[in-house]
Amino acid sequence: MASFANRSIISMRDFTREEILHVLDVTRMMDERAEEFATALQSEILATLFFEPSTRTRLSFESAMLRLGGKVMGFADPGSSSTKKGESLADSIKIVESYADLIAMRHPVEGSARLAAEIADIPVLNAGDGANQHPSQTFLDLYTIWQEKGTLESLNVGFMGDLKYGRTVHSLAHALAKFGCNLNFVSPKGLEMPTDILEELARDGVSFREHLNFEDAKGNLDILYVTRIQRERFGGELDYDKVREGYNISKSFLEGCNPNLRILHPLPRVDELSEEVDNTPYAIYFRQAANGIPTRMALIALVMGVVS
Amino acid sequence: MSKNEKKATRTISQIERGTVIDHLDPHVVFQVVRILGIDDQIEDTVTVGTNFHSNVLGKKGIIKIANRFLTQDAVDKLSVISPSATVSMIEDYEVKRKFKVKIPELIEAILKCPNPNCVTNTEEWPTRFRVAVRDPLLLFCTYCERYFGKHDIEIL
């Protein structure tokens, strides 16, 4: 396995099964023994460059760095960066790498994180590049599933909601495919998984099925990953309301499910997931959100060489 | 090459020194002329022929350019546009070297990414594609991580 030290975390495609499992092991270590690492990065600085706002992801990266004893600086709003003055991303990265030891970057343009990593001599953590990748989210999703199921091997996983624009769904599907999971995609017409992703899964020999409604898929699911369906993706109110009905997970909706089904959601949710589900054993989405911290601590610790 | 094919090929004049591109897909001959930068300003002899009979391809195109040898970039571009093409380098009317073009594993800086939101279109930065499938050609942009067929892609 290649060393993680000084490596950038850009895309789930860059990681082998073995490397993914290693990240999960280190995440568990950060989860259970965080205090041992409380001064690990005392003289290091994380720059959080958020060219697109994402409060939760930014705070989560900052909290992870602070818990490792490090310092943070950055911007949360592109209006306050020199991009506004027309500076290229390449130039911004060259400048920032002389100020910090590590960069976490969110940018609306796809491939921007890869470009930043090629320019910078310090590690870059991709905190989302347009519709492309958001690997720290995928690692925390994988950690949550692994923690709950004790394995990632051969699980029956359902993805439900907006699968067309859902970046988290795309990279999680790719990652789970490496573990021989059976994938079930449930989405309204027009919001299906993009064809190029399905074709890629097919080329890789992944077992998957597409469904129009949850009833057809729910049988033996171990995991259900729900994403938000955004109103603006639909033409009129009527269409949206019609779709929303079939994609609202409530207690009654879950009758007949595998009792060991566990539901994840990248949050924030709107009404695709009723609050009445929160107190059932199915719901693990709040734990999933909390796992953002140990996951990002693990990624930072690995690329900074705190753990090998 | 059959006798008939040889005869057909010879209907365009031989060159003393330069490059012969043969076995071109007849649908892309003029595109190849364009990407090679051949225009009205060129001083040397250029012969362009298309729809010649070919035993292998049915029909084929040929381009002969005097006093010019292709750069690696040009050969790579040619391989993407017409993977069937062969290139012969001519000196003293003799073929000094002949090869079939081959699409490289990584295609750098010669194609434009069709995704307008790819960083290679928003920054001054060269593109890089990996060949995902050779036939039919499917390319993967290593920046925005999307797949594109040959017909989606523009040659720079």
Of B54, B81, B100, the position where a domain reaches its end is B100
Using CB atoms within 10 A of its CB, is residue A34 exposed (0-12), middle (13-18) or buried (19+)?
A: middle
Give the active site residues of A.
56-57, 85, 106, 134
Q: How far is CA B44 from the centre of its chain?
A: 20
Q: Which domain holds residue B138?
A: 106-155
Smallest CA–CA distance, residue B132 to chain A, in Å, is 9
Across the interface, whether the CB atoms of B117 and A110 are under 8 A apart is answered: yes
Residues B14 and B86 in one domain: yes
At A179 the pLDDT is 97
Q: Assign a CATH topology to domain A12-133+292-303.
A: Rossmann fold (3.40.50)
Q: Which residues of A touch B (CB under 8 A)?
A: 11, 13, 88-90, 108-112, 114-115, 129-133, 196, 199-200, 203
pLDDT tens readout for residues A268-303: 888 889 999 999 999 999 999 999 999 999 999 999
Of B54, B79, B100, the position where a domain reaches its end is B100
Smallest CA–CA distance, residue B134 to chain A, in Å, is 13
Cα–Cα distance between A200 and A198 in angstroms, integer?
A: 5
Whether residue A138 has pLDDT greater than 70: yes
At B6 the pLDDT is 65
Alpha-helix residue ranges (DSSP H) falling in chain A = 17-32, 55-67, 89-96, 112-119, 135-149, 167-177, 195-203, 214-217, 237-246, 285-290, 292-303
Q: How far is CA A75 from CA A10, A49, A202, A206, in A?
A: 20, 6, 41, 40
DSSP category for residue A239 = H
Residues B124 and B149 in one domain: yes
Cα–Cα distance between A56 and A45 in angstroms, integer?
A: 20
Residues B18 and B93 in one domain: yes
Whether the Cβ atoms of residue A105 and residue A112 lie closer than 8 Å to each other: yes
Reduced to 3 states, what is the DSSP secondary structure of residue B139?
strand
Cβ-based contacts of A90 with chain B (< 8 Å): 123-125
Q: How far is CA A76 from CA A62, A67, A267, in A?
A: 12, 20, 20
pLDDT tens readout for residues B92-139: 999 999 999 999 999 999 999 999 999 999 999 999 999 999 989 999
Whether residue A235 has pLDDT greater than 90: no
Full strand arrangement of the beta sheet holding A71-75: A71-75, A45-50, A102-107, A124-129
Residues B61 and B85 in one domain: yes
- Model confidence band, residue A77 (pLDDT cutoffs 50, 70, 90): confident
Across the interface, whether the CB atoms of A130 and B144 are under 8 A apart is answered: yes
Question: Which member of B118, B132, B133 has the closest CB to residue A110?
Answer: B118
CATH code of the domain covering residue B116: 2.30.30.20
Residues B110 and B129 in one domain: yes
In order, the DSSP letters of A248-290 are -B-TGGGTTS-TT-EEE--S---SSB-GGGTTSTTB-HHHHHH
Across the interface, whether the CB atoms of A132 and B144 are under 8 A apart is answered: yes
Give phi and psi for A104, each to the nearest 5.
Answer: -115, 125
Residues 113-142 of B with CB under 8 A from A: 115, 117-120, 122-125, 132-133, 141-142
Count the Cβ atoms, other than its own, within 10 Å of residue B76.
Answer: 21
Mutate to test the interface with A, among B106, B108, B122, B131 (most CBs of A within 10 A): B122
Instruction: Give me the helix-helix angle, A135-149 and A55-67, nearest 10°.
Output: 70
Residues B18 and B76 in one domain: yes
- Model confidence band, residue A234 (pLDDT cutoffs 50, 70, 90): low
Q: How far is CA A60 from CA A54, A111, A225, A296, B124, in A?
A: 10, 22, 21, 7, 32
Q: How far is CA A1 from the centre of its chain?
A: 23
Mutate to test the interface with B, among A12, A114, A138, A198 (most CBs of B within 10 A): A114
Across the interface, whether the CB atoms of A110 and B120 are under 8 A apart is answered: no
Cβ-based contacts of A112 with chain B (< 8 Å): 119, 122
- Model confidence band, residue A247 (pLDDT cutoffs 50, 70, 90): confident
* Lowest-pLDDT range of A43-52, A196-205, A242-251, B128-137: A242-251
Question: Which member of B119, B124, B147 has the closest CB to residue A111?
Answer: B119
- Model confidence band, residue A219 (pLDDT cutoffs 50, 70, 90): confident
Residues B71 and B139 in one domain: no
Cβ-based contacts of B132 with chain A (< 8 Å): 200, 203
Cα–Cα distance between B101 and B137 in angstroms, integer?
A: 14
Residues B20 and B82 in one domain: yes
Q: Assign a CATH topology to domain A136-289.
A: Rossmann fold (3.40.50)
Query: Which residues are registered as beta bridge partners of B24?
Result: B61
Question: Which member of A129, A133, A200 has the closest CB to residue B147?
Answer: A200
Residues B25 and B96 in one domain: yes
Q: Does B72 touch chain A (CB under 8 A)?
A: no
Q: Which helix H or strand E contains B78, and what residues bound it?
A: helix B72-81
Q: How many domains are there within chain B? A: 2
Across the interface, whether the CB atoms of A90 and B125 are under 8 A apart is answered: yes
At A229 the pLDDT is 82
- Model confidence band, residue B11 (pLDDT cutoffs 50, 70, 90): low
Domain ranges of chain A: 12-133+292-303, 136-289
Whether the Cβ atoms of residue B9 and residue B1 lie closer than 8 Å to each other: yes
Full strand arrangement of the beta sheet holding B106-108: B106-108, B128-133, B138-141, B147-149
Whether residue A238 has pLDDT greater than 80: no
- Model confidence band, residue A240 (pLDDT cutoffs 50, 70, 90): confident
Cβ within 8 Å of residue A41, ≥6 positions away: A65, A68, A69, A70, A300, A301, A304, A306
Cα–Cα distance between A195 and A18 in angstroms, integer?
A: 28
